[in-house]
Chain A
Amino acid sequence: MDNYLTLLSFGDQGWSDEIAWGVLITVSLALATLPIGLFIGFMIALGKQSEEWTLRISAEIYTTIFRGLPELLTLFIVYYGLQIGIQLLLKLLGFEGTVEINSFMAGAMSLALVFSSYASEVFLSAFRAIPKGQYEGGFALGLRRGRVMRLVVLPQLIRIALPGLGNLWMILLKDTALVSAIGLTDILRQTGVAARVSKEAFLFFGIAFLLYLALALISSVALNRIEAYGKRGEQSR
Protein backbone atom coordinates (compact mmCIF):
# COMPACT_ATOMS: atom_id res chain seq x y z
CA MET A 1 0.00 0.00 0.00
CA ASP A 2 2.82 2.37 0.94
CA ASN A 3 4.42 1.45 -2.32
CA TYR A 4 1.36 2.71 -4.21
CA LEU A 5 1.25 5.92 -2.19
CA THR A 6 4.88 6.62 -3.07
CA LEU A 7 4.19 5.92 -6.72
CA LEU A 8 1.27 8.33 -6.68
CA SER A 9 2.95 11.12 -4.75
CA PHE A 10 4.15 14.37 -6.24
CA GLY A 11 7.89 14.81 -6.59
CA ASP A 12 10.83 12.65 -7.60
CA GLN A 13 9.49 9.34 -6.35
CA GLY A 14 5.91 9.69 -7.51
CA TRP A 15 4.22 10.17 -10.83
CA SER A 16 1.40 12.53 -9.93
CA ASP A 17 3.18 15.66 -11.14
CA GLU A 18 3.95 14.04 -14.51
CA ILE A 19 0.36 12.84 -14.85
CA ALA A 20 -0.98 16.25 -13.87
CA TRP A 21 1.14 17.73 -16.66
CA GLY A 22 -0.41 15.16 -19.00
CA VAL A 23 -3.91 16.26 -18.00
CA LEU A 24 -2.92 19.84 -18.70
CA ILE A 25 -1.66 18.89 -22.17
CA THR A 26 -4.79 16.89 -22.98
CA VAL A 27 -7.13 19.65 -21.88
CA SER A 28 -5.17 22.43 -23.58
CA LEU A 29 -4.96 20.42 -26.80
CA ALA A 30 -8.73 19.96 -26.83
CA LEU A 31 -9.28 23.64 -25.97
CA ALA A 32 -6.83 24.76 -28.67
CA THR A 33 -8.54 22.58 -31.27
CA LEU A 34 -12.06 23.70 -30.43
CA PRO A 35 -12.05 27.29 -31.80
CA ILE A 36 -10.15 26.30 -34.97
CA GLY A 37 -12.47 23.38 -35.59
CA LEU A 38 -15.59 25.44 -34.92
CA PHE A 39 -14.46 28.21 -37.25
CA ILE A 40 -13.56 25.87 -40.12
CA GLY A 41 -16.71 23.84 -39.53
CA PHE A 42 -18.86 26.96 -39.70
CA MET A 43 -17.20 28.06 -42.92
CA ILE A 44 -17.70 24.60 -44.43
CA ALA A 45 -21.36 24.68 -43.44
CA LEU A 46 -21.73 28.08 -45.15
CA GLY A 47 -20.08 26.59 -48.22
CA LYS A 48 -22.43 23.61 -48.21
CA GLN A 49 -25.52 25.78 -48.45
CA SER A 50 -24.05 28.30 -50.84
CA GLU A 51 -25.68 29.04 -54.19
CA GLU A 52 -22.38 28.40 -55.97
CA TRP A 53 -22.08 24.75 -56.93
CA THR A 54 -18.29 25.04 -56.81
CA LEU A 55 -18.38 25.97 -53.12
CA ARG A 56 -20.90 23.24 -52.34
CA ILE A 57 -18.87 20.52 -54.01
CA SER A 58 -15.59 21.69 -52.45
CA ALA A 59 -17.14 21.56 -48.99
CA GLU A 60 -18.58 18.09 -49.66
CA ILE A 61 -15.18 16.78 -50.77
CA TYR A 62 -13.59 18.13 -47.59
CA THR A 63 -16.05 16.43 -45.25
CA THR A 64 -16.08 13.18 -47.20
CA ILE A 65 -12.30 12.90 -46.99
CA PHE A 66 -11.88 13.69 -43.32
CA ARG A 67 -14.84 11.63 -42.20
CA GLY A 68 -13.64 8.68 -44.26
CA LEU A 69 -10.15 8.42 -42.79
CA PRO A 70 -9.30 6.96 -39.38
CA GLU A 71 -8.32 9.72 -36.95
CA LEU A 72 -5.03 7.99 -36.20
CA LEU A 73 -4.14 7.88 -39.89
CA THR A 74 -5.03 11.56 -40.34
CA LEU A 75 -2.73 12.32 -37.43
CA PHE A 76 0.17 10.37 -38.92
CA ILE A 77 -0.36 11.83 -42.37
CA VAL A 78 -0.39 15.38 -41.02
CA TYR A 79 2.57 14.77 -38.72
CA TYR A 80 4.89 12.96 -41.14
CA GLY A 81 3.48 14.61 -44.26
CA LEU A 82 4.11 18.12 -42.96
CA GLN A 83 7.57 17.11 -41.82
CA ILE A 84 8.50 15.64 -45.20
CA GLY A 85 6.80 18.46 -47.09
CA ILE A 86 8.64 21.19 -45.20
CA GLN A 87 11.91 19.28 -45.59
CA LEU A 88 11.42 19.09 -49.36
CA LEU A 89 10.56 22.78 -49.52
CA LEU A 90 13.69 23.72 -47.57
CA LYS A 91 15.78 21.47 -49.79
CA LEU A 92 14.52 23.39 -52.81
CA LEU A 93 15.60 26.58 -51.07
CA GLY A 94 19.03 25.10 -50.47
CA PHE A 95 18.77 24.21 -46.80
CA GLU A 96 19.87 20.76 -45.70
CA GLY A 97 18.93 19.12 -42.47
CA THR A 98 16.11 17.44 -40.69
CA VAL A 99 13.00 19.26 -39.61
CA GLU A 100 10.84 18.23 -36.71
CA ILE A 101 7.48 19.84 -36.42
CA ASN A 102 5.81 20.44 -33.11
CA SER A 103 3.66 17.43 -32.24
CA PHE A 104 1.21 19.66 -30.36
CA MET A 105 0.61 21.69 -33.50
CA ALA A 106 0.30 18.62 -35.70
CA GLY A 107 -2.11 17.09 -33.20
CA ALA A 108 -4.26 20.20 -32.99
CA MET A 109 -4.30 20.52 -36.78
CA SER A 110 -5.37 16.97 -37.50
CA LEU A 111 -7.95 16.97 -34.71
CA ALA A 112 -9.30 20.24 -36.09
CA LEU A 113 -9.61 18.71 -39.56
CA VAL A 114 -11.70 15.82 -38.20
CA PHE A 115 -13.67 17.99 -35.77
CA SER A 116 -14.54 20.60 -38.39
CA SER A 117 -15.87 18.07 -40.88
CA TYR A 118 -18.28 16.70 -38.27
CA ALA A 119 -19.08 20.17 -36.94
CA SER A 120 -20.05 21.34 -40.42
CA GLU A 121 -22.84 18.74 -40.47
CA VAL A 122 -24.11 19.94 -37.10
CA PHE A 123 -24.06 23.56 -38.25
CA LEU A 124 -25.71 22.64 -41.53
CA SER A 125 -28.66 20.92 -39.86
CA ALA A 126 -28.96 23.87 -37.47
CA PHE A 127 -29.03 26.25 -40.44
CA ARG A 128 -31.84 24.21 -41.96
CA ALA A 129 -33.83 24.49 -38.74
CA ILE A 130 -33.94 28.29 -39.00
CA PRO A 131 -36.94 29.47 -41.06
CA LYS A 132 -36.29 31.58 -44.11
CA GLY A 133 -38.53 34.30 -42.66
CA GLN A 134 -35.83 35.11 -40.14
CA TYR A 135 -33.48 36.15 -42.95
CA GLU A 136 -36.28 37.96 -44.79
CA GLY A 137 -37.28 39.79 -41.65
CA GLY A 138 -33.72 40.89 -41.14
CA PHE A 139 -33.42 42.12 -44.72
CA ALA A 140 -36.78 43.90 -44.43
CA LEU A 141 -35.38 45.84 -41.51
CA GLY A 142 -32.59 47.00 -43.80
CA LEU A 143 -29.79 44.97 -42.22
CA ARG A 144 -26.88 43.90 -44.39
CA ARG A 145 -26.07 40.23 -44.94
CA GLY A 146 -23.29 40.17 -42.37
CA ARG A 147 -25.44 41.81 -39.73
CA VAL A 148 -28.41 39.51 -40.43
CA MET A 149 -26.05 36.60 -39.91
CA ARG A 150 -24.54 38.03 -36.73
CA LEU A 151 -27.58 39.54 -35.07
CA VAL A 152 -30.46 37.36 -36.23
CA VAL A 153 -29.27 33.95 -37.38
CA LEU A 154 -26.21 33.22 -35.26
CA PRO A 155 -27.86 33.56 -31.82
CA GLN A 156 -30.54 31.04 -32.83
CA LEU A 157 -28.06 28.83 -34.65
CA ILE A 158 -25.80 28.39 -31.63
CA ARG A 159 -28.73 27.41 -29.45
CA ILE A 160 -29.89 24.75 -31.93
CA ALA A 161 -26.38 23.46 -32.57
CA LEU A 162 -25.35 23.23 -28.90
CA PRO A 163 -26.36 19.60 -28.18
CA GLY A 164 -24.64 18.36 -31.33
CA LEU A 165 -21.53 20.40 -30.65
CA GLY A 166 -21.50 19.07 -27.09
CA ASN A 167 -21.35 15.52 -28.44
CA LEU A 168 -18.52 16.53 -30.74
CA TRP A 169 -16.62 18.02 -27.81
CA MET A 170 -16.86 14.68 -25.98
CA ILE A 171 -15.57 12.90 -29.08
CA LEU A 172 -12.77 15.44 -29.42
CA LEU A 173 -11.74 14.91 -25.80
CA LYS A 174 -11.51 11.18 -26.44
CA ASP A 175 -9.67 11.62 -29.72
CA THR A 176 -6.92 13.62 -28.01
CA ALA A 177 -5.73 10.31 -26.54
CA LEU A 178 -4.44 9.41 -30.01
CA VAL A 179 -1.76 12.10 -29.98
CA SER A 180 0.24 10.01 -27.53
CA ALA A 181 1.16 7.98 -30.64
CA ILE A 182 3.18 10.89 -32.06
CA GLY A 183 4.97 11.49 -28.78
CA LEU A 184 2.94 14.27 -27.22
CA THR A 185 3.09 13.92 -23.43
CA ASP A 186 -0.65 13.70 -22.79
CA ILE A 187 -2.40 11.64 -20.11
CA LEU A 188 -1.99 8.33 -21.90
CA ARG A 189 1.68 8.91 -22.73
CA GLN A 190 2.60 9.93 -19.19
CA THR A 191 0.73 7.07 -17.57
CA GLY A 192 2.25 4.71 -20.14
CA VAL A 193 5.76 5.84 -19.18
CA ALA A 194 4.89 5.48 -15.50
CA ALA A 195 3.49 2.01 -16.14
CA ARG A 196 6.63 0.90 -17.94
CA VAL A 197 9.03 2.28 -15.34
CA SER A 198 7.14 1.16 -12.26
CA LYS A 199 5.81 -2.12 -13.72
CA GLU A 200 2.38 -1.26 -12.31
CA ALA A 201 0.53 -1.19 -15.61
CA PHE A 202 -2.98 -1.73 -14.28
CA LEU A 203 -2.63 0.99 -11.66
CA PHE A 204 -1.45 3.65 -14.08
CA PHE A 205 -3.64 2.78 -17.05
CA GLY A 206 -6.52 2.56 -14.60
CA ILE A 207 -5.68 6.10 -13.52
CA ALA A 208 -5.65 7.25 -17.13
CA PHE A 209 -9.03 5.59 -17.62
CA LEU A 210 -10.48 7.33 -14.54
CA LEU A 211 -9.00 10.69 -15.56
CA TYR A 212 -10.70 10.51 -18.95
CA LEU A 213 -13.92 9.50 -17.22
CA ALA A 214 -13.58 12.48 -14.89
CA LEU A 215 -12.99 14.83 -17.82
CA ALA A 216 -16.10 13.43 -19.53
CA LEU A 217 -18.16 13.91 -16.35
CA ILE A 218 -16.97 17.48 -15.87
CA SER A 219 -17.66 18.24 -19.52
CA SER A 220 -21.17 16.85 -19.42
CA VAL A 221 -22.00 18.88 -16.31
CA ALA A 222 -20.56 22.02 -17.93
CA LEU A 223 -22.40 21.35 -21.19
CA ASN A 224 -25.70 20.91 -19.35
CA ARG A 225 -25.11 24.25 -17.65
CA ILE A 226 -24.36 25.95 -20.97
CA GLU A 227 -27.44 24.42 -22.59
CA ALA A 228 -29.62 25.53 -19.70
CA TYR A 229 -28.11 29.02 -20.01
CA GLY A 230 -28.89 29.01 -23.73
CA LYS A 231 -32.48 28.01 -23.04
CA ARG A 232 -33.10 30.58 -20.30
CA GLY A 233 -35.24 32.69 -22.66
CA GLU A 234 -37.53 29.80 -23.48
CA GLN A 235 -40.69 29.25 -21.55
CA SER A 236 -40.32 26.55 -18.98
CA ARG A 237 -43.19 24.12 -18.85
Chain B
Amino acid sequence: MSATTDTLIPAQPAPAPPPKAWTASRISGTLLVLFWIAAAIGLVAYLYAAWDIDKVERYAPKYRDGLIVTLTLVGLSIVVGAIVSVPVAIGRMSKNPVISRLAFAYVYIFRGTPLIAQLFLIYYGLGSFRPQLEAVGLWVFFRDAWNCALFAFTLNTAAYQAEILRGAIESVPKGQWEGAAALGLNRIQTVWKIILPQALIVALRPYGNEIILMLKGSAIVALVTVFDLMGETRRAFSRTYDFQMYIWAAVFYFVMVETLRNVWNWLEAGLTRHLKR
Protein backbone atom coordinates (compact mmCIF):
# COMPACT_ATOMS: atom_id res chain seq x y z
CA MET B 1 0.00 0.00 0.00
CA SER B 2 1.48 3.24 -1.06
CA ALA B 3 1.52 6.27 1.13
CA THR B 4 -0.01 8.42 -1.58
CA THR B 5 -3.59 8.11 -2.72
CA ASP B 6 -4.27 7.55 -6.37
CA THR B 7 -6.57 10.51 -6.78
CA LEU B 8 -5.47 14.09 -6.20
CA ILE B 9 -7.60 16.36 -4.07
CA PRO B 10 -9.32 18.76 -6.47
CA ALA B 11 -8.46 22.45 -6.18
CA GLN B 12 -10.24 24.06 -3.22
CA PRO B 13 -11.39 27.66 -3.00
CA ALA B 14 -9.40 29.90 -0.69
CA PRO B 15 -10.64 29.83 2.88
CA ALA B 16 -13.01 32.64 3.80
CA PRO B 17 -11.25 35.57 5.48
CA PRO B 18 -11.75 35.58 9.23
CA PRO B 19 -14.48 37.96 10.35
CA LYS B 20 -13.11 41.43 11.10
CA ALA B 21 -12.81 41.85 14.84
CA TRP B 22 -14.59 44.74 16.50
CA THR B 23 -11.52 46.43 17.86
CA ALA B 24 -11.74 49.60 19.90
CA SER B 25 -10.62 51.73 16.97
CA ARG B 26 -13.18 50.15 14.64
CA ILE B 27 -15.99 50.78 17.14
CA SER B 28 -14.97 54.38 17.75
CA GLY B 29 -14.47 55.00 14.03
CA THR B 30 -17.92 53.68 13.22
CA LEU B 31 -19.44 55.78 15.98
CA LEU B 32 -17.67 58.88 14.69
CA VAL B 33 -18.81 58.30 11.12
CA LEU B 34 -22.35 57.81 12.42
CA PHE B 35 -21.97 61.05 14.37
CA TRP B 36 -20.92 62.99 11.25
CA ILE B 37 -23.77 61.47 9.23
CA ALA B 38 -26.22 62.42 11.99
CA ALA B 39 -24.74 65.93 12.11
CA ALA B 40 -25.09 66.33 8.35
CA ILE B 41 -28.69 65.09 8.40
CA GLY B 42 -29.41 67.29 11.39
CA LEU B 43 -27.97 70.33 9.61
CA VAL B 44 -30.02 69.77 6.47
CA ALA B 45 -33.15 69.04 8.51
CA TYR B 46 -32.60 72.16 10.60
CA LEU B 47 -32.11 74.38 7.57
CA TYR B 48 -35.16 72.81 5.94
CA ALA B 49 -37.32 73.33 9.03
CA ALA B 50 -36.05 76.87 9.52
CA TRP B 51 -36.65 77.83 5.86
CA ASP B 52 -38.81 80.93 5.90
CA ILE B 53 -39.61 82.52 2.58
CA ASP B 54 -40.05 85.99 4.12
CA LYS B 55 -36.58 85.91 5.63
CA VAL B 56 -35.09 84.48 2.46
CA GLU B 57 -36.60 87.27 0.39
CA ARG B 58 -35.45 89.91 2.82
CA TYR B 59 -31.95 88.66 3.58
CA ALA B 60 -30.77 86.74 0.51
CA PRO B 61 -29.98 89.94 -1.44
CA LYS B 62 -28.15 91.29 1.60
CA TYR B 63 -26.05 88.15 1.85
CA ARG B 64 -25.26 88.50 -1.85
CA ASP B 65 -24.15 92.12 -1.34
CA GLY B 66 -22.08 91.06 1.64
CA LEU B 67 -20.47 88.33 -0.41
CA ILE B 68 -19.54 90.86 -3.08
CA VAL B 69 -18.03 93.17 -0.45
CA THR B 70 -15.98 90.31 0.99
CA LEU B 71 -14.70 89.17 -2.39
CA THR B 72 -13.84 92.70 -3.57
CA LEU B 73 -12.06 93.50 -0.34
CA VAL B 74 -10.02 90.30 -0.37
CA GLY B 75 -9.29 90.44 -4.10
CA LEU B 76 -8.18 94.07 -4.04
CA SER B 77 -6.05 93.72 -0.94
CA ILE B 78 -4.34 90.59 -2.27
CA VAL B 79 -3.49 92.30 -5.58
CA VAL B 80 -2.37 95.61 -4.06
CA GLY B 81 -0.55 93.71 -1.31
CA ALA B 82 1.31 91.70 -3.96
CA ILE B 83 2.51 94.94 -5.54
CA VAL B 84 3.55 96.40 -2.17
CA SER B 85 5.29 93.16 -1.22
CA VAL B 86 7.80 93.38 -4.09
CA PRO B 87 9.82 96.33 -2.73
CA VAL B 88 9.56 94.87 0.80
CA ALA B 89 10.94 91.52 -0.37
CA ILE B 90 13.74 93.28 -2.28
CA GLY B 91 14.47 95.30 0.85
CA ARG B 92 14.59 92.12 2.93
CA MET B 93 17.25 90.68 0.59
CA SER B 94 19.18 93.93 0.32
CA LYS B 95 22.81 93.96 1.39
CA ASN B 96 22.34 97.43 2.88
CA PRO B 97 21.80 96.76 6.62
CA VAL B 98 19.56 99.80 7.12
CA ILE B 99 17.17 98.84 4.33
CA SER B 100 17.10 95.16 5.22
CA ARG B 101 16.46 95.93 8.91
CA LEU B 102 13.68 98.35 8.02
CA ALA B 103 12.03 95.75 5.80
CA PHE B 104 12.47 93.12 8.51
CA ALA B 105 10.88 95.42 11.10
CA TYR B 106 7.91 96.03 8.81
CA VAL B 107 7.41 92.30 8.24
CA TYR B 108 7.89 91.42 11.90
CA ILE B 109 5.49 94.08 13.14
CA PHE B 110 2.70 93.14 10.77
CA ARG B 111 3.15 89.41 11.22
CA GLY B 112 3.54 89.64 14.99
CA THR B 113 0.30 91.45 15.78
CA PRO B 114 -3.31 90.42 15.19
CA LEU B 115 -4.92 91.75 12.03
CA ILE B 116 -7.83 92.96 14.13
CA ALA B 117 -5.51 95.12 16.30
CA GLN B 118 -4.02 96.62 13.12
CA LEU B 119 -7.48 97.33 11.79
CA PHE B 120 -8.62 98.99 15.03
CA LEU B 121 -5.45 101.05 15.21
CA ILE B 122 -6.01 102.34 11.68
CA TYR B 123 -9.77 102.81 11.82
CA TYR B 124 -10.26 104.16 15.33
CA GLY B 125 -6.72 105.29 16.06
CA LEU B 126 -6.23 107.52 13.03
CA GLY B 127 -9.35 109.41 14.12
CA SER B 128 -7.12 111.02 16.76
CA PHE B 129 -5.21 112.74 13.96
CA ARG B 130 -8.24 114.05 12.18
CA PRO B 131 -7.05 117.71 11.96
CA GLN B 132 -3.66 116.69 10.58
CA LEU B 133 -5.20 114.24 8.12
CA GLU B 134 -7.70 116.83 7.00
CA ALA B 135 -4.84 119.23 6.41
CA VAL B 136 -3.17 116.85 3.98
CA GLY B 137 -6.48 115.78 2.45
CA LEU B 138 -6.26 112.13 3.51
CA TRP B 139 -9.18 112.26 5.90
CA VAL B 140 -11.64 111.59 3.09
CA PHE B 141 -9.92 108.24 2.61
CA PHE B 142 -9.56 107.23 6.25
CA ARG B 143 -13.05 108.35 7.25
CA ASP B 144 -14.54 105.34 5.54
CA ALA B 145 -14.36 101.98 7.30
CA TRP B 146 -14.10 100.13 3.99
CA ASN B 147 -11.01 102.10 2.96
CA CYS B 148 -9.43 101.54 6.36
CA ALA B 149 -10.08 97.82 6.07
CA LEU B 150 -8.55 97.75 2.59
CA PHE B 151 -5.54 99.70 3.86
CA ALA B 152 -4.99 97.46 6.89
CA PHE B 153 -5.45 94.25 4.88
CA THR B 154 -3.08 95.43 2.18
CA LEU B 155 -0.33 96.27 4.66
CA ASN B 156 -0.87 92.96 6.46
CA THR B 157 -0.90 90.73 3.41
CA ALA B 158 2.05 92.63 1.91
CA ALA B 159 4.14 91.60 4.92
CA TYR B 160 3.15 87.94 4.55
CA GLN B 161 3.54 87.96 0.78
CA ALA B 162 6.96 89.59 1.05
CA GLU B 163 8.12 86.67 3.16
CA ILE B 164 6.64 84.18 0.69
CA LEU B 165 8.36 85.92 -2.21
CA ARG B 166 11.68 86.16 -0.40
CA GLY B 167 11.60 82.52 0.63
CA ALA B 168 10.76 81.47 -2.91
CA ILE B 169 13.51 83.55 -4.51
CA GLU B 170 16.07 82.34 -1.99
CA SER B 171 15.04 78.75 -2.72
CA VAL B 172 16.38 79.12 -6.27
CA PRO B 173 19.97 77.80 -6.23
CA LYS B 174 22.75 80.34 -6.60
CA GLY B 175 24.03 78.55 -9.68
CA GLN B 176 21.01 79.76 -11.59
CA TRP B 177 22.09 83.36 -11.04
CA GLU B 178 25.66 82.51 -11.97
CA GLY B 179 24.60 80.59 -15.06
CA ALA B 180 22.51 83.51 -16.25
CA ALA B 181 25.39 85.89 -15.61
CA ALA B 182 27.74 83.59 -17.55
CA LEU B 183 25.32 83.70 -20.50
CA GLY B 184 25.55 87.49 -20.41
CA LEU B 185 21.93 88.11 -19.37
CA ASN B 186 21.38 91.38 -17.61
CA ARG B 187 19.71 91.60 -14.20
CA ILE B 188 16.16 92.17 -15.42
CA GLN B 189 16.38 89.30 -17.91
CA THR B 190 17.85 87.05 -15.22
CA VAL B 191 15.07 87.80 -12.74
CA TRP B 192 12.27 87.74 -15.28
CA LYS B 193 13.28 84.71 -17.33
CA ILE B 194 15.36 82.55 -14.98
CA ILE B 195 14.59 83.25 -11.33
CA LEU B 196 10.91 84.20 -11.16
CA PRO B 197 9.55 81.23 -13.14
CA GLN B 198 11.31 78.85 -10.76
CA ALA B 199 10.53 80.87 -7.63
CA LEU B 200 6.83 81.34 -8.32
CA ILE B 201 6.29 77.60 -8.63
CA VAL B 202 7.67 77.22 -5.11
CA ALA B 203 5.54 80.15 -3.96
CA LEU B 204 2.33 78.81 -5.44
CA ARG B 205 1.18 76.85 -2.40
CA PRO B 206 1.98 79.52 0.20
CA TYR B 207 0.22 82.10 -1.97
CA GLY B 208 -2.88 79.91 -2.04
CA ASN B 209 -2.75 79.54 1.73
CA GLU B 210 -2.38 83.30 2.12
CA ILE B 211 -5.46 83.97 -0.03
CA ILE B 212 -7.47 81.51 2.06
CA LEU B 213 -6.19 83.10 5.28
CA MET B 214 -7.20 86.54 4.02
CA LEU B 215 -10.61 85.29 2.97
CA LYS B 216 -11.19 83.92 6.46
CA GLY B 217 -9.52 86.86 8.18
CA SER B 218 -11.67 89.34 6.27
CA ALA B 219 -14.60 88.40 8.51
CA ILE B 220 -13.28 90.78 11.16
CA VAL B 221 -14.22 93.86 9.13
CA ALA B 222 -17.71 93.20 10.43
CA LEU B 223 -16.46 94.59 13.76
CA VAL B 224 -15.68 97.99 12.22
CA THR B 225 -19.12 98.43 10.62
CA VAL B 226 -18.25 97.16 7.15
CA PHE B 227 -21.14 95.03 5.95
CA ASP B 228 -19.36 92.14 4.35
CA LEU B 229 -20.76 88.60 4.50
CA MET B 230 -20.05 88.43 8.23
CA GLY B 231 -21.39 91.94 8.82
CA GLU B 232 -24.65 91.17 7.04
CA THR B 233 -24.89 87.95 9.03
CA ARG B 234 -24.46 89.77 12.32
CA ARG B 235 -27.03 92.38 11.33
CA ALA B 236 -29.52 89.72 10.25
CA PHE B 237 -28.96 87.79 13.49
CA SER B 238 -29.39 90.85 15.67
CA ARG B 239 -32.73 91.58 13.95
CA THR B 240 -34.18 88.07 13.92
CA TYR B 241 -32.38 86.14 16.69
CA ASP B 242 -32.50 83.26 14.24
CA PHE B 243 -29.47 81.02 14.51
CA GLN B 244 -29.75 79.82 10.92
CA MET B 245 -28.22 83.15 9.85
CA TYR B 246 -24.85 82.05 11.22
CA ILE B 247 -25.24 78.58 9.76
CA TRP B 248 -25.80 80.04 6.30
CA ALA B 249 -22.74 82.25 6.66
CA ALA B 250 -20.75 79.18 7.67
CA VAL B 251 -22.01 77.34 4.59
CA PHE B 252 -21.02 80.21 2.29
CA TYR B 253 -17.57 80.66 3.79
CA PHE B 254 -16.98 76.92 3.75
CA VAL B 255 -17.98 76.62 0.10
CA MET B 256 -15.75 79.57 -0.85
CA VAL B 257 -12.72 78.24 0.99
CA GLU B 258 -13.13 74.69 -0.30
CA THR B 259 -13.65 75.87 -3.88
CA LEU B 260 -10.57 78.04 -3.69
CA ARG B 261 -8.54 75.23 -2.16
CA ASN B 262 -9.56 72.73 -4.82
CA VAL B 263 -9.07 75.16 -7.69
CA TRP B 264 -5.64 75.96 -6.31
CA ASN B 265 -4.74 72.26 -6.01
CA TRP B 266 -5.81 71.72 -9.60
CA LEU B 267 -3.84 74.75 -10.74
CA GLU B 268 -0.76 73.58 -8.88
CA ALA B 269 -1.05 70.06 -10.27
CA GLY B 270 -1.22 71.51 -13.77
CA LEU B 271 1.66 73.92 -13.35
CA THR B 272 4.02 71.45 -11.70
CA ARG B 273 3.37 68.46 -13.95
CA HIS B 274 6.80 68.79 -15.54
CA LEU B 275 8.34 68.27 -12.08
CA LYS B 276 6.61 64.95 -11.45
CA ARG B 277 8.10 61.68 -12.49
Contacts and interface: CB of A to CB of B under 8 A. Distances in A.
Do they bind each other? yes
Determine which residue in B216, B247, B257 has the highest number of CB atoms from chain A within 10 A of its CB, and name it. B216
A36 interface: no
B25 A209 contact: no
A192 interface: yes
A176 B114 CA distance: 9
B115 A72 contact: no
A29 to B, nearest CB: 13
Contacts, number: 130
Interface in B1-47: 25-26, 28-30, 32-33, 35-36
Contacts of A177: 114, 116-117
Interface of B: 25-26, 28-30, 32-33, 35-36, 109, 112-118, 120-121, 124-129, 215-220, 222-223, 230, 233-234, 237, 243, 246-247, 249-250, 253-254, 257-258, 261
B24 to A, nearest CB: 10
Contacts of B237: 80
Q: Which 9 residue pairs spanning A and B have beta carbons closest together? A: A54-B29, A216-B112, A58-B32, A55-B29, A177-B114, A202-B125, A70-B219, A202-B128, A174-B114
A71 interface: yes
A148 to B, nearest CB: 16
Contacts of B253: 68-70, 73
A62 to B, nearest CB: 8
Main DSSP-derived SS at the A contact region = helix
Nearest to B25: A52
A192 B237 CA distance: 24
A188 interface: yes
A213 B219 CA distance: 22
B112 A70 contact: no
A203 B128 contact: yes
Determine which residue in B28, B36, B113, B247 has the highest number of CB atoms from chain A within 10 A of its CB, and name it. B113
A202 B124 CA distance: 7
Interface residues of A, number: 47
B195 to A, nearest CB: 27
A212 B114 CA distance: 7
Given A50-B25, A201-B125, A57 B219 contact: no
Interface in A188-233: 188, 192, 195, 200-203, 205-206, 208-209, 212-213, 216-217
Contacts of A55: 25, 28-29, 32
Given A68-B253, A73-B249, 16 more contacts: A47-B29, A52-B25, A54-B29, A55-B25, A58-B35, A65-B254, A68-B258, A70-B215, A73-B253, A174-B115, A177-B117, A180-B116, A201-B125, A202-B125, A208-B121, A213-B109
A201 to B, nearest CB: 4
B124 A205 contact: yes
Given A52-B25, A55-B29, A201-B125, A213 B113 contact: yes
